[in-house]
Chain A
Amino acid sequence: MPTPLYAVTTDPLDLAALVSAVTTLPAHAPDEPRAVGPGAITSFVGVVRNENAGRRVLRLEYEGYEPLALRAFERIGAETAERWAVRMALHHRLGTLQIGEASVMIAVSSPHRADTFAACRYVIERVKQIAPVWKHEFFEGGDVWIEGATADPDDNEARQDAYDRACA
């Protein structure tokens, strides 16, 4: 079965599968026989860090609202396509993750590298802003739910901020 571009899963993530998903041209669309294929791929892997805000982190438990997360990923994909000529895959893991395990993976392909770097950064910034996913941090001495951004996909200021970071 081909790797989906967007996924939320408790299974370990597989970067090679994401890269493959954005490298393979979609069944050579007959109406675009001369479409330019990928010339560059940028990937991002977020991993569980052993420290946060001075605390010694033991593990993270990720919770998500799966159907809304997939829609948020599709939305991020559409936003990305508005600005860059790229193909993008985005997978987020849920459940219990140990230090060093990958929690999120992104792969972006394009004919040229400038677009892949910018779009990849944009995608992770938007994930942090609007993906309905939460970290429950277990550290030495306790546990805490991490709360970051109030998710509002229509907040154009947040979207602009993500774009500015991507193109900095």
Chain B
Amino acid sequence: MRVNIRLFARLRDIAGAGEMERQVPDGATVRTVWETLASEFADLKDYEVSISTAVNAEYSRMDAPVADGDEVAFLPPVSGG
């Protein structure tokens, strides 16, 4: 299945794009998607312990399942205000 990935701030800089599509196996979780990305962009690995994740614009957990067409977002530590 295919998922749409959103990356923000420094994560977007590392990957060189804020939106991309990737193929992941059936039964994939948010973590599967992250590992797919981190194998492609090694500098993302530094963020593994500090990122937040969202599926279809709702905060989620790394072990949440993803479905075909889902938007999966990875967020570095936030700094709004």
Q: Do A and B bind each other?
A: yes
Contacts of B79 in A (CB 8 A): 128, 133-135, 145-148
Contacts of B73 in A (CB 8 A): 65, 68
Contacts of A145 in B (CB 8 A): 9-10, 13, 76, 79
Is residue B39 contacting chain A, with contact meaning CB distance below 8 A? no
Is residue B42 contacting chain A, with contact meaning CB distance below 8 A? no
Residue of B51, B52, B77, B80 most packed against chain A (CB within 10 A): B80
Question: B interface, by DSSP: helix, strand, loop or mixed?
Answer: mixed
In the complex, are the beta carbons of A148 and B10 less than 8 A apart?
A: no
Is residue B27 contacting chain A, with contact meaning CB distance below 8 A? no
Q: Please tell me the size bucket of the interface on B.
A: 20 to 34
Given A63-B8, A63-B9, A65-B73, A133 and B54 touching (CB < 8 A)? Answer: no
In the complex, are the beta carbons of A131 and B80 less than 8 A apart?
A: yes
Closest to B47 in A: A147
In the complex, are the beta carbons of B59 and A151 less than 8 A apart?
A: yes
Shortest CB–CB separation between residue A73 and chain B, in angstroms?
10
Given A132-B8, A147-B10, A71 and B80 touching (CB < 8 A)? Answer: no
In the complex, are the beta carbons of A150 and B51 less than 8 A apart?
A: yes
Closest to A152 in B: B52
In the complex, are the beta carbons of A148 and B77 less than 8 A apart?
A: yes
Q: B residues touching A (Cβ–Cβ < 8 Å)?
A: 6, 8-10, 12-13, 50-52, 54, 57-59, 73, 75-81
Q: List 10 A-B contacts (CB under 8 A).
A: A63-B12, A65-B75, A127-B80, A133-B78, A134-B76, A149-B78, A150-B50, A150-B51, A152-B59, A153-B59
